[in-house]
Structure 1
């Protein structure tokens, strides 16, 4: 196939923008990860029909088509060598009483501002919320700080409309025929091979499909490999009128991790962890003995929470905050953890692994595993994340000269995580960094069922190939900084 033929065919049916010049292709060859893949063509569809036509042409020419939101993914989820579809113009918002209808290109920060005017909010709240897209959040099954109480994207989707690999527009759960086929596939899975955690973005979430009425959930975390999401109906709830935030200091990561399971029993809306590296960027004079922090938040019912906390923790309550503006100030410190960690890293280093999630009672084991890996591979790490869910973002820092160890580290780390009953990714997706480990996560039998689901929606394997279902190792390949 000649590129000129593909370009001509697309120009005949696309009303939006089409690019194939080097400058634009280079821009779309990267995201927030360390990977780079240069695509053939970039399309910015003007409407849903443009997306449908793009998929049909891609199938005809046997070319991959990959959706892209804001490019904030950390593991190369939206990178591929075929057609990249930037969905930013699908940005309509319609607010209803208990849900909001949104286009996949809607910016999360913009949505938050509009919902706030109506005293409502969409619970999943990634730290990059002001920048990411709703479509990207659905593709990764994003969550954020308050997922402990309100769940991930998968828990807050009422309806999804998407284009499958045949170029057909499908709405779930309303499409009963598709729903019946999904349910039939879901009944085959071995649930015992799924991780015992409160958040999981690895593989296809067939474990939550219990009836035709919730088949839309299988698209959450599918990274555009089952369909290109056009729009969705998302649950919205009233903004809490009261919040209280406790900042608790600990001497060690293990000490803090040991207390998380008990703190979770008090039903906080958020339980977050930051280590010493992140602490150094917070505008507060901490005691020198404090080496890490827990942020514990409660909303709605906040009376006597300080008394309850003091009864169960050994850590020191450094701050008790009830003022909303002060609470937001401290949450900004926490939400800037990715920026703080990146700022602290020297130029000749790489982020290697991140985003694993374990049962919260196994959180101390996760930190011990990281210490052992650091020692074995002469690495260092920065840690922060959603401790209440057992989801810790580990920025493992390795000298660029030792990149051959990246896969060895990932092999060992993910093996340990799976043995703890955890998942290789809690909210950032499999992408290029982890798709090769999905079979290991779920076992060969479940992986075969995942492939059956993939074939149902995408028989020609044109939708973001290599993500979730992967036939080769991609953790090192296409790293732009190696």
Structure 2
């Protein structure tokens, strides 16, 4: 491109050559994320201060260079990849915890701080940041905010959107602003913060993030139960919620995912009749946890359900490792994978699972349907070989249409990114899409921020 030489020269002047990658071997590392999408960027920049981010934003506006903000590259939808041979702005060196206010119970971080690192830091002060995506150990807070990440604790504690108080955002041209106050209440301006949570880098670039934190729970208990009827865990979740028990987590493992875990030797079953698992965690004040635990154990004993119980941190984490081993294990069922994270009203989860099983039987394509069943969020993974790729793509379309037929939504926490843009119009009306496009133009009139992501232009 004509602008490349002058643009790169000025970029190096702003950041220094050591903070700009242009060599093909280095660019290759940043040409993919955790999706199937790839795209080799023009360059990768590594700012260390917000002032450098502002200068980069001025430069891309001058030369009309597309920009992709990137955290740790754990995105599953291609939103951390440059699809227009533009600049990848990596925040891995902006990874400082800037402030912790114990009285206000808020923490200010740069976007490159790892979720797991923040959790460890806060625990020293008896505090807790609940959102826990499966990639929490190596995904960044900036990336979590950009995708609206959730995790197992979403049932009780909510997702990332429930903890972001304010964002400092930079726009092409170098303008920088706050989306709201640092206070728990504030209605002076329009509440822009939720607009940017889940925006996948299409509206602005985060330079600072203000998060609400809460006290670490006094007591945790995890029960892993084994079920002879696949849908039984979904019924149990419903029963518990109706009895006013809100588990911290309620994670469902269906029979096809269970097959993958067994193939990968991630667990042993008490007997061969097991069709599904439920990971049920209770937490909070000890007296309340013990009261809820008794109700759950009484329910399990009444139904004749076998379960393991863990109360120490070490044993709890050991059992959770089985759940965290799901994503690598499903690969045992096929060399190719198509994955979606869909959300159903809880009352429709059983019907959705039934339809999934019927489709799996008809097509011969493995369909793993696991995840955060407590809040209706299923991770649907299709596993197949090269010869079944077209059949799998058609099956995916059918499954997504079933989600909408059952009043669900096509993405709960992974975002739309680049690879799922074509499905957005299935769920949103033309009026909603026009509103999104107009908002995009307001913040990014030249379409420089993550072009091709989220909005089906």
TM superposition score normalised by structure 2? 0.90
Is residue 4 of structure 2 the alignment partner of residue 3 of structure 1? yes
Distance 2:233 2:187 in 1: 36
**Partner residue of 2:249 out of 270, 284, 288:** 270
Spell out the pairing of 1:437-448 with structure 2 (5 A cutoff): 437-448=423-434
Is residue 58 of structure 2 the alignment partner of residue 56 of structure 1? yes
Please identify, of 129-138 and 379-388, the stretch whose mean Cα deviation from structure 2 is larger.
379-388
Displacement of 1:56 in angstroms is 2.1
**Partner residue of 2:100 out of 95, 102, 122:** 95
On the 8 A contact 1:165/1:461 being kept in 2, the answer is: no
- 2:373 maps to what in 1? 387
- Structure-2 change in CA distance of 1:148 and 1:86 (3 Å): same
Deviations along 1:428-451, whole A, 9 cap, x unmatched? Answer: 111122222222212111111111
**Partner residue of 1:302 out of 280, 289, 297:** 289
On the 8 A contact 2:260/2:333 being kept in 1, the answer is: no
- Structure-2 change in CA distance of 1:112 and 1:427 (3 Å): same
- 1:23 maps to what in 2? 25
- Structure-2 change in CA distance of 1:304 and 1:77 (3 Å): same
Where 2:351 maps in the other structure, the secondary structure is helix
Is residue 320 of structure 2 the alignment partner of residue 331 of structure 1? yes
Runs (5+) with no aligned partner, structure 1: 176-208, 472-482
On the 8 A contact 2:353/2:369 being kept in 1, the answer is: no
Displacement of 1:166 in angstroms is 3.5
**Partner residue of 1:128 out of 110, 132, 135:** 135
- Aligned-pair Cα RMSD in Å: 2.1
Displacement of 1:378 in angstroms is 2.8
Where 1:304 maps in the other structure, the secondary structure is helix
Please identify, of 302-311 and 269-278, the stretch whose mean Cα deviation from structure 2 is larger.
302-311
Displacement of 1:51 in angstroms is 1.6
Distance 1:235 1:322 in 2: 27
Displacement of 1:321 in angstroms is 2.4
On the 8 A contact 1:32/1:72 being kept in 2, the answer is: yes
Runs (5+) with no aligned partner, structure 2: none
Distance 1:363 1:318 in 2: 23
| More RCO (CA 8 Å, sep 6+) | 1
- 1:239 maps to what in 2? 216
Distance 1:306 1:114 in 2: 29
Where 2:211 maps in the other structure, the secondary structure is strand
On the 8 A contact 1:262/1:312 being kept in 2, the answer is: no
Distance 1:429 1:357 in 2: 12
Distance 1:261 1:165 in 2: 47
Deviations along 1:97-121, whole A, 9 cap, x unmatched? Answer: 1011000001112111111111111
Displacement of 1:174 in angstroms is 4.3
Distance 1:335 1:83 in 2: 33
TM superposition score normalised by structure 1? 0.85
